Amino acid sequence: MKVDLSKYKNDWYKEDSAKNIYPGPVITISRELGCPAKKIACTLADELNKSKSPRGKDLPWRWISKEILSESAKALNVDCDQIEHIFQYKNRNAFEDLLMAQSKDYYKSDLKIRTTIAKVIRTFATNGNAIIVGRGGVAITRDIPKSLHIMLEAPLEWRAVRTASKHDLSLEQARNYAQSIDKKRKQFRDHFQGKGNDYTRFDVKFNCMTLETDVIVKIIIGAIKARGFI
The answer to whether residue 131 is domain-embedded is yes
A 10 A CB-CB count for 92 gives 14
User: Range with the lowest mean pLDDT among 55-59, 62-66, 160-164?
Assistant: 55-59
User: Range with the lowest mean pLDDT among 164-173, 194-203, 204-213?
Assistant: 194-203
The answer to whether residue 159 is domain-embedded is yes
The answer to whether residue 123 is domain-embedded is yes
**What CATH number does residue 78 fall under?**
3.40.50.300
E strands along 19-178, which residues? 26-31, 62-64, 130-133, 147-153
Closest CA to 149 of 229, 205, 68: 205
pLDDT at 78: 87
pLDDT at 58: 62
The predicted-structure confidence for 201-210, as pLDDT tens digits, reads as follows 899 999 999 9
The answer to whether residue 229 is domain-embedded is no
**Candidate ranges 97-106, 112-121, 153-162, 179-188; pick with highest mean pLDDT:** 153-162
Residues of the domain holding 205: 5-223
The answer to whether residue 109 is domain-embedded is yes
C-alpha–C-alpha distance, residues 121 and 118, integer Å: 5
- The domain total for the chain is 1
Average pLDDT of span 29-56 = 86
The answer to whether residue 18 is domain-embedded is yes
Please list the residues that pair with 70 across neighbouring strands.
none
Closest CA to 227 of 57, 24, 13, 12: 24
Percent of the chain scoring above 70 in pLDDT: 74
pTM: 0.80
The predicted-structure confidence for 91-116, as pLDDT tens digits, reads as follows 545 444 444 444 454 445 777 888 89
The answer to whether residue 228 is domain-embedded is no
* Residue 83 burial (10 A CB sphere; 0-12, 13-18, 19+): buried
The answer to whether residue 52 is domain-embedded is yes
User: Range with the lowest mean pLDDT among 88-92, 114-118, 174-178, 220-224?
Assistant: 88-92
Percent of the chain scoring above 90 in pLDDT: 49
